[in-house]
Amino acid sequence: MTTASVELDILQLTDPHLFENPQRQLKGIETYSSFLRTLQHALALWQPDIILLTGDLSEDRSPGAYCLLRETLEPAQTPVFCIPGNHDDPVVLARVFDGGNFHCCEALRRGNWLLPMLNSWDGERGGGRLGADQLELLDRQLAATDAEHALVCLHHQPVPVGSAWLDSVGLADREDLMAVIARHPRVRGLLWGHVHQSFDQRKDGLRLMGTPSTCYQFVPGVDDFALDQLGPGFRRIKLRRDGGIDSQVTQLDP
């Protein structure tokens, strides 16, 4: 694959769970230092076209946590697109990530690709829901675009990942989402965070991708909550002009 065949080269970072105080820990991990180490490792490998943040950006929902995140990302001088997760405050996040290179819940169009950014926040219950407004928005965006390919981005997993406890707090209206997507064959894949583990499958012509957190991970395939011993991670996604998706997950040492 040549560089000329790539339409968009994305760095996905997800679920950093930051606090206003960068030294605070969550589940034994200093989440800010873990995020910073992951970001620096990725940017040492390549310069992405965009940085995509797929939710649970803050753990304490404070303006200070979002400002810390923005200040950390600004030196990269790369457009940043984000969506909220269940641990976020969507209003505060949208206020801080506004202007300049920062975009919240704003669809991205680049070349022959459209990336709708969906808000699945549904209060603090853990699970997610798009609701009629977000589903109608997605339907309109996919119908109106002249882009041949689309990658739909959200926080909560829209398909089961094989862990009973985690799937119980996935996307509640996943069937409604899939019904919208079925009407638009231009959709090539779905991308999400939330699951704190790597997930990559193909189903009905769609690439389905979940990505490890920049802090702690969940043990996959178990009925009850359990933390894994794997280190922080990120995903690189290359969207090709022909509609293909090349993607790899990298995880650092714990």
Question: Which of 146, 154, 202, 204 is closest to 179 using CA atoms?
Answer: 204
| Edge-to-edge strand list for the sheet holding 199-203 | 108-110, 113-115, 149-153, 187-192, 206-210, 199-203
- Could you tell me what percent of the chain has a pLDDT over 90? 97
What's the angle, vertex CA 69, arms to CA 65 and CA 75, rounded to 5? 150
Q: pLDDT tens across 177-191, in order?
A: 999 999 999 999 999
Does 137 have pLDDT greater than 70?
A: yes
Q: Which domains does the chain have, with CATH numbers?
A: 3-251 (3.60.21.10)
According to DSSP, the β-strands at 6-13 and 245-251 are: unpaired
pLDDT tens digits for range 168-177:
999 999 999 9
In the prediction, which pLDDT does 26 show?
A: 98
3-state secondary structure of 145: coil
80 forms beta bridges with: 51, 102
pLDDT at 125: 87
The one-letter amino acid at 79: P
Question: For residue 2, is pLDDT > 80?
Answer: no
Q: Is the dihedral of CA 156, 157, 161, 164 positive or negative?
A: positive
Q: Which residue has the tokens 């043990």?
A: 219
pTM to 2 decimals? 0.97
What's the mean per-residue pLDDT of the chain?
97
pLDDT tens digits for 218-250?
999 999 999 999 999 999 999 999 999 999 999
Helix axis angle, 174-182 to 131-144, nearest 10°:
20
Rg of the chain over Cα atoms, rounded to whole angstroms, equals: 17
CA 77 to centroid of chain Cα atoms = 19
